[in-house]
Amino acid sequence: MPQPRLSPLSNFGLTIVSVIVLLAAIFPTQPIRTRGAAAQRSDIERRINALLARMTLAEKLGQLQQLDGHADGRFKDEQPELVRKGLLGSTLNVRGVKNTNDLQRIAVEQSRLKIPMIFGFDVIHGYRTVFPIPLGETASWDPAAVKRAASIAAAESRAAGVHWTFAPMVDIARDARWGRIAEGSGEDPYLGSVMARARVQGFQGTDYSANDKVVACAKHWVAYGAAEAGRDYNTTDVSERTLREVYFPPFKAAVDAGVGTFMSAFNSLNGVPTSANPFTLTDILRGEWKFDGFVVSDYTSVEELIKHGVAADGAEAAQEALNAGVDMEMVSRLYNRHGAELLKQRRLTQQTIDEAVRRILRIKFRLGLFDKPYADEARERAVILSPANVAAAREIAARSIVLLKNEKHVLPLAKSVKSVALIGPLADSQKDMIGSWTGDGRAEDAITLLQGLKSKLPQAKINYAKGCEIGCDRAEGFEEAVRAARESDVVILAVGESAEMSGEAASRTSLDLPGRQLDLVRAVQATGKPTTVVLMNGRPLTINWIAENTPAILETWFAGTQAGNAIADVLFGDVNPGGKLPVTFPRAVGQIPLYYNHFNTGRPPDSNNKYTSKYTDVPWTPLFPFGYGLSYTQFKITNLQLSAPRIPANGKLTVSVDVENVGKRAGDEVVQLYIRDVVASVARPVKELKGFERVRLEPGMKRRVDFALNPEQLGFYNRKLRFVVEPGEIKVMVGPNSQDLIESTFQVVER
Ligand code: NOJ
């Protein structure tokens, strides 16, 4: 829409009024945080109006620009001048109080309108104190622990001058070839939503202007995890039903938790790149969900519209992205380069630009940056890597570990053991412990399993042998490893992937242990010593031989700064493992996508009938199912009861079970609730997770666990894509994983 023209006089009058409004707005009589939420919001809008009235087009486009700093946290040479001129509103990777304050000082003291910068950074699973990779954290099935990790990450980030994390990544991933499965919460929309909420709450708290909080960013909007063939950045084609039922829910949970920003993704979705997709960016996000924060593009994803083939040049790319609803452009500079000309040609409206600026300023105000733009160096020193944060990292890492096998109670190992062979390329690799996306984390802070064992067992002899490199193709080190095993009472084998094998741009076509690691396992196992395999990896692995032949397996993911101590805590029984898989482990890469909440087909697999849905070479079942994990104690889940045999479509129901620790140690069980809508107007998944609780029980103790089922959990999208609860039978299943379940049913009836 073109701007109405004003006479010079009215222009002058407006300028005086806007200066007064601006002064009043920028220096309010009361600090913003002490007033009620509604008053605070309208105050912010008033202050934004005052600024918008004063901003030139170039300054507005400057707010829409984010540029990259150096990897070590410094800003780039051109940036101070851009900031001084009001042409740059945000950076990524600039961090550390010295760097951020230096640039901020220019924005706040030397630019015409004194609009503060917002400093973004990928704080994915910790800033300097690194927690387990998100997939690992999710394996804790403990939203309180996940929230706590995010909260510590936020405190360290803000102390280092960072205001904004590009997390949580809430992409559902059903394909373990995709390396970014490590960064999310796995395959399930319900678990993913619970974790999305926990992380947003942890990062943002109730008020992210606090000096220990940051604003969060739900990414990558959307369906990025559905990349064809698991190849990063690849095309996605997903029905609207699957978007609404599988890929959207964790994003919606983030919005409901108050997330301040979104990141548009790299992938094209049903033919329209997600960084130029008005359906997802505007109709869903703004229209249906009423999201009022801003959307940042992923790195150069605006410019990439040209390669996608939906924009002929930079001007068209800017036009499409901004009109679709991408407010801030990360790294490429097309809004800045072409904004004025696009406005002149009426390919963009002033209103669109103003709205994007408004959304960004809104978040800057909510962050309190106008009132408190600087970070404090003393605080940076006190908060980062504090002993309390490091202790939390150890605790949370131990909670994320999953016991996959424990034949003849090989684990826990006795602390009285005289000698331990620690073998494998991951046994003493600091850099791999912290996984991908390490924030400001340093390899030198990380505790390896070798270090963890040494401090756990000061008296024992640790016979360490690397055996081979992660990707090795030779067996030279095997002999030494076998000797170490022979000379020891027990063997621990640390095998898996390197940190760079998962994360961004780290897709694999094989899920096997890389290199000749499996041969190393076989050689060591042949010594007959009691062997525990400790897996370190960013995705499910196809470990069939190990699952069959080694007596004990611990899945530890990449457990972070305190990995070695946490794993030792679990190996020697100071912590009883209670984690569960947030993702299905397949037997073969050819089974992918393999996920528990699939549809039934008209010919469900039947081993007695050839013409049913299965393979001729590999069973159709997973190696380890979703939700699976053992403990050093045993639990029984019994006495499934429903509060009513039937409920109306808008009704609620309570599902209750008893969970009892029938073993000899205190431990945690994750009680999981699944449902199935047996007959509906559209096919429904064979089971869907709808509730869970991680319960701690002393030996011999029993507890009743209740789950509420309400219309939101019972409904689905019908043939017209309307969300409905239909009358009919609902099967209820409860158990310790998605396979071993006790069942009951109830009816939903018409009123
Ligand atoms: C690209 C990644 O896809 C995204 O997740 C990340 O936040 C940005 N780069 C910024 O580093």
Ligand 1 within 6 A of 677 CB?
no
Pocket test residue of 165, 166, 266, 436 for ligand 1, highest count of atoms within 8 A of CB = 166
Nearest Cα residue to atom 4 of ligand 1:
298
Contact 301, 268 (CB under 8 A): no
**SS3 label, residue 399:** helix
Residue with tokens 């991908």: 436
Weakly modelled stretches of the chain, pLDDT under 70? 1-35
**SS3 label, residue 653:** strand
Q: In what side-by-side order are the strands of the sheet with 419-423?
A: 402-406, 552-555, 531-536, 490-496, 419-423, 461-465
Tell me the HSE value of 236 on the side-chain side, using a 13 A CA sphere. 30
229 CA → ligand 1 middle, Å: 21
DSSP secondary structure of 67-131: EE--TTSPPPTTHHHHHHTT---EEES--SHHHHHHHHHIIIIISSS-PPPEEEE--SS-SSS--
pTM of structure: 0.95
528 CA → ligand 1 middle, Å: 46
Buried-state track 203-241, b at ≥16 Cβ within 10 A, e below 16: bbbeebbbebbbbbbbbbbbbbbbbeebbbbbbbebeee
Ligand 1 within 6 A of 219 CB?
yes
The DSSP H or E segment spanning 734 is strand 728-735
504 CA → ligand 1 middle, Å: 8
DSSP state for residue 261 in the 8-state scheme: E
44 CA → ligand 1 middle, Å: 29
Please write the tens of the pLDDT for every residue from 448-491: 999 999 999 999 999 999 999 999 999 999 999 999 999 999 99
Nearest Cα residue to 73 out of 162, 150, 159, 154:
162
Residue 440 designated active-site: no
Nearest Cα residue to atom 10 of ligand 1:
299
Atom of ligand 1 nearest to the CA of 169: 5
Nearest Cα residue to atom 3 of ligand 1:
298
How far is residue 578's CA from residue 573's CA, in Å, rounded to a whole number?
Answer: 12
Q: What is the pLDDT of residue 34?
A: 53
Q: What is the pLDDT of residue 751?
A: 74
Nearest Cα residue to 594 out of 639, 560, 637, 626:
626
Q: What is the pLDDT of residue 4?
A: 34
Helix axes 517-525, 478-486, angle to 10 degrees: 30
623 CA → ligand 1 middle, Å: 32
Q: What is the pLDDT of residue 36?
A: 83
Query: β-pairing, 461-465 with 419-423?
Result: parallel
Residue with tokens 């099935």: 141
Ligand 1 within 6 A of 688 CB?
no
Ligand 1 within 6 A of 227 CB?
no
Contact 552, 411 (CB under 8 A): yes
DSSP secondary structure of 273-332: EGGG-HIIIIIIIIIIT---SEEEE-TTTTTTHHHHTS-SSHHHHHHHHHHHT--BEES-
Ligand 1 within 6 A of 183 CB?
no
Pocket test residue of 70, 165, 220, 298 for ligand 1, highest count of atoms within 8 A of CB = 298
